[in-house]
């Protein structure tokens, strides 16, 4: 079984992943309310991936004989001014998630918890992809600037994202 401090940190990460899902659902709803259905679909896929991440942490705790302890999930913001501000927040949020995963890995290394290190490596790799995808989309939105036509084109492109 992992040490108590690792189980606590893994439980906190379930909460953080569920918050990420909440955040992206809220962003998706906001994009849909602006009639950007492609960005809304992209964010909806992202929200569902976060639920899958929470589930991975849940299963890891169970598989290792730890106790899952669930707390309240913070409410996310519900309004953003624009698609650009939504994706600025997505990019910033993913950088924060990466920092959290790295702190968890540091703790697992310190505790010589090899099973948790092996488990977390998937998330270390996943965060490289998550940061790259969100920052690439943000850069394209910034390049477009005030051109509504180009933003609608990008909305259509973003809507092609498939669930993994
Ligand atoms: Fe669960 Fe977006 O990282």
pLDDT beyond 90 at 66 = yes
CA–CA separation, 39 vs 105, rounded Å?
A: 32
Q: CB under 6 Å to ligand 1: residues?
A: 17, 20, 50, 53, 94, 97, 130
Lowest mean pLDDT among 129-133, 144-148, 156-160: 144-148
Asked if the model's pLDDT at residue 25 lies above 90, the reply is: yes
Mean pLDDT across the stretch 13-17?
98
Among all chains, which residue has been given the structure tokens 């639920």?
A: 51
Quick one: pLDDT band at residue 16, thresholds 50, 70, 90? very high
At 77 the pLDDT is 98
Q: Average pLDDT for residues 65-94, to the nearest whole number?
A: 97
Task: Identify the pLDDT of residue 161.
Answer: 87
Specify the pLDDT at position 131.
96
Residue nearest to atom 2 of ligand 1 (CA): 94
pLDDT at position 163 is 82
Tell me how far apart the alpha carbons of residues 69 and 111 are, in angstroms, rounded to a whole number. Answer: 21
Please state, in angstroms and rounded to a whole number, the distance separating the CA atoms of residues 11 and 102: 16
Tokens of 74: 């913070």
* Cβ pair 90, 134 in contact under 8 A: yes
- What integer pLDDT is reported at residue 164 of this predicted model? 76
- 81: helix, strand or coil: coil
Distance CA 74, CA 95 (A): 19
The rounded Å distance from CA 129 to ligand 1 centre is 10
Q: Using CB atoms within 10 A of its CB, is residue 163 exposed (0-12), middle (13-18) or buried (19+)?
A: exposed
User: Ligand 1: which atom is nearest the Cα of residue 97?
Assistant: 3
Q: Identify the band that residue 15 occupies on the pLDDT scale cut at 50, 70 and 90.
A: very high
Query: Mean pLDDT throughout 10-18?
Result: 98
Ligand 1: centre distance to CA 112 (Å): 25
* Residue-averaged pLDDT of the chain: 96
**In this predicted model, what pLDDT tens digit does every residue of 36-58 receive, in sequence order?**
999 999 999 999 999 999 999 99
Q: Which pLDDT value is given to residue 22?
A: 98
């Amino acid at each position: 079984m992992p040490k108590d401090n690792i189980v606590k940190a893994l439980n906190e990460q379930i909460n953080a992943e569920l918050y990420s899902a909440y955040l992206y659902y809220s962003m998706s709803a906001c994009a849909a309310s602006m009639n950007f259905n492609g960005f809304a679909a992209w964010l909806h896929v992202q929200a569902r991936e976060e639920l899958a991440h929470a589930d991975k942490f849940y299963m890891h705790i169970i598989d290792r004989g730890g106790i899952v302890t669930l707390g309240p999930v913070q409410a996310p913001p519900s309004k953003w001014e624009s698609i650009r501000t939504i994706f600025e927040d997505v990019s910033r949020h993913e950088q924060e998630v990466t920092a959290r995963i790295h702190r968890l890995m540091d703790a697992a290394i310190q505790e010589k918890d090899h099973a948790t290190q092996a488990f977390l490596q998937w998330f270390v790799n996943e965060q490289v992809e998550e940061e790259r995808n969100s920052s690439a989309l943000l850069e394209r939105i910034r390049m477009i600037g005030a051109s509504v036509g180009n933003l609608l084109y990008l909305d259509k492109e973003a809507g092609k994202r498939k669930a993994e």
